[in-house]
């Protein structure tokens, strides 16, 4: 059996596979000094969905592995308020992932080895930005890794939202893939944590935007996680009589090609597809697609492209849904959705002057499994059926493109 680095030639020894987060071209890295001060007030804390462990199990940390949580002399109530554990004499971190924001502009992220099953390899965790000393753990033990860094460092992205300045980052773990003659496997746990610190003149808030952690081992017949990706096609017509919509999907832009330059009204060909699944019964549906001027799908301004899977009717240049049929050469046709939009630029809301800004495309997707009573097929000539609620095999997923710029 050989071990292979993901998307690389086969090699003779195990290598870590980095599952890349969505591209975020605009970052705010600084060569700041490592600050190790404790939070200046009880940190903001939000649990990350249903915990895999009960509160009792979460707090069953060996005495010799316990790390103090928060400032000294916290009471039981104060300790529980920041979702840490309390013994007779101190507050300590449990078997979870804890994210805190400080008033002086610091992220504090504490990752427990036992936060997932199988346990995390703490050495495999990284942040969005360059892996320099500032973005590595300030404390590492057998059971915990503690990250503390300025909210402007380590690939953090910045946006404004309803009177708040929002700093967002993402933590992701790599994993080893073993390559055999009839398949590939991994035994490493994998998780992603997307988190924010929100600052205003009077408050500091914390938000976990997305958590994608493998739950405890499921029954053998259970369905595995479904991953979806969005990419832009780069093929062009060079011969007389070729069909542009067909030729476009012969090739795709790579990460190194971004930002991609386009002229106004140039066609932009997009494709959303399910990754790594061979179940021909799965059906990918696009719920809602839109464009923004920043990498964040939550940012404003935005422009609708598809609504309930259908072209946005208030656009003079309707989005063109491109059928995926046998001529595409694809094996699982229902795993793909394609559409084309005419390149545009955002304008200033007050002056209506063209901003000549960047454009990013985002889609909210659902993966459906058809039954005898529900085909999962979307139709644009009647109201959307409530298929997802009945047949969905994967929750709503938002995927994003790389950067488009106007030339």
Q: Where are the domains of the chain?
A: 2-213, 227-406
| Residue in this structure with the two tokens 């959303």, named with its chain if needed | 272
* pLDDT tens column, 186-237: 546 567 888 888 887 666 665 554 445 444 333 232 234 578 999 999 998 8
Per-residue pLDDT averaged across 376-380, rounded? Answer: 83
Which residue's entry shows tokens 């205003």? 200
State the residue for tokens 């929002």: 166
Please check the confidence at residue 70 and state whether its pLDDT lies above 60: yes
| pLDDT in the model for residue 120 | 82
Contact 69, 84 (CB under 8 A): yes
pLDDT (0 to 100) of residue 270: 96
What's residue 253's pLDDT? 94
DSSP-derived letter for residue 71 is: S
pLDDT at 22: 34
Question: Which residues contact residue 254 at a Cβ distance below 8 angstroms, ignoring those fewer than 6 apart?
Answer: none
Query: For 55, which DSSP code?
Result: H
pLDDT at 115 over 50: yes
pLDDT exceeds 50 at position 35: no
CB under 8 Å to 140, separation ≥6 — which residues? Answer: 122, 146
In which residue are the tokens 């990918």 written? 284
Task: Using the Cα atoms of residue 384, residue 388, residue 391 and residue 392 in order, give the sign of their dihedral.
Answer: positive
Indicate the CATH number of 227-406 among 2.40.50.140, 3.90.1150.10, 3.90.230.10, 2.60.40.4100.
2.60.40.4100
Residue 183 has pLDDT above 70, yes or no: no
* Residue 147 and residue 109 in contact, taking contact as beta carbons nearer than 8 Å: yes
d(CA 180, CA 282): 26
Whole-number average pLDDT of the chain:
74
Q: Is the pLDDT of residue 387 over 70?
A: no
Can you list the positions of beta strands (E) in 125-276?
125-127, 139-140, 144-150, 157-161, 164-173, 175-180, 183-185, 191-199, 204-213, 227-232, 260-262, 267-275
Choices 3.10.20.30, 3.30.930.10, 2.60.40.3210, 3.30.360.10: CATH for 2-213: 2.60.40.3210
| The model's pTM | 0.46
3-state secondary structure of 11: strand
DSSP H or E run through 390: helix 388-391
Burial profile 112-134: b = 16 or more Cβ within 10 angstroms, e = fewer: bbbbbeeebbbebbbbbbeeeeb
Residue 170 has pLDDT above 70, yes or no: yes
Range with the poorest average pLDDT among 161-175, 210-224, 232-246, 248-262: 210-224
* Predicted pLDDT at 381: 65
**pLDDT confidence of 181, banded at 50, 70, 90?**
very low
Query: Which single residue is written with the structure tokens 């490493």?
Result: 188
Distance CA 318, CA 305 (A): 8
Query: In the chain, what percentage of residues exceed pLDDT 90?
Result: 25
DSSP 246: H
Quick check: do 2-213 and 227-406 share a fold?
yes
């Amino acid at each position: 059996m050989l071990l292979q680095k993901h998307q690389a030639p086969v090699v003779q020894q195990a290598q870590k596979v980095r599952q890349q987060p969505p591209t975020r071209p605009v970052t705010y890295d600084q060569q700041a000094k490592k600050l190790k001060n404790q939070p200046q007030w009880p940190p903001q804390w939000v649990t990350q969905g249903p915990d895999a462990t009960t509160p009792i199990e979460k707090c069953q940390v060996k005495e010799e592995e316990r790390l103090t949580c928060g400032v000294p002399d916290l009471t039981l109530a104060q300790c529980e308020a920041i979702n840490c554990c309390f013994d007779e004499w101190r507050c300590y971190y449990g078997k979870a992932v804890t994210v805190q924001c400080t008033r002086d502009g610091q992220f504090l992220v504490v990752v427990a080895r036992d936060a997932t099953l199988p346990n995390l390899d703490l050495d495999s965790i990284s942040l969005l930005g360059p892996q320099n000393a500032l973005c590595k753990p300030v404390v590492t033990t057998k059971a915990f890794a503690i990250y503390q860094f300025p909210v402007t460092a380590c690939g953090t992205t910045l946006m404004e939202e309803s009177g708040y300045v929002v700093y967002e980052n993402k933590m992701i773990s790599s994993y080893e893939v073993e390559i055999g003659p009839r398949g590939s496997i991994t035994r490493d746990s994998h998780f992603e944590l997307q988190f924010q610190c929100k600052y205003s003149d009077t408050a500091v808030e914390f938000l976990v935007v997305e958590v994608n952690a493998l739950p405890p081992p499921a029954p053998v017949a259970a369905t595995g996680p479904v991953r979806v990706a969005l990419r832009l096609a780069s093929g062009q017509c060079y011969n007389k009589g070729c069909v542009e919509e067909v030729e476009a999907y012969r090739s795709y832009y790579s990460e190194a090609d971004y930002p991609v330059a386009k002229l106004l009204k140039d066609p932009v060909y997009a494709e959303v597809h399910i990754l790594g699944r061979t179940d021909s019964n799965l059906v990918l549906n696009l719920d809602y697609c839109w464009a923004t001027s920043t990498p964040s799908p939550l940012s404003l301004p935005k422009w609708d492209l598809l609504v309930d899977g259908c072209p946005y009717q208030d656009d003079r240049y309707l989005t063109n849904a491109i059928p995926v049929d046998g001529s595409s050469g694809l094996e699982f046709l229902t795993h793909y959705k394609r559409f084309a939009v005419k390149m545009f630029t955002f304008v200033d809301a007050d002056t209506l002057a063209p901003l000549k800004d960047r454009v990013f495309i985002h889609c909210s997707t659902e993966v459906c499994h058809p039954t005898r009573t529900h085909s999962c097929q979307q139709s644009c000539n009647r109201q959307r059926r409530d298929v997802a609620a009945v047949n969905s095999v994967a929750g709503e997923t938002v995927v994003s493109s790389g950067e488009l710029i106007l030339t």
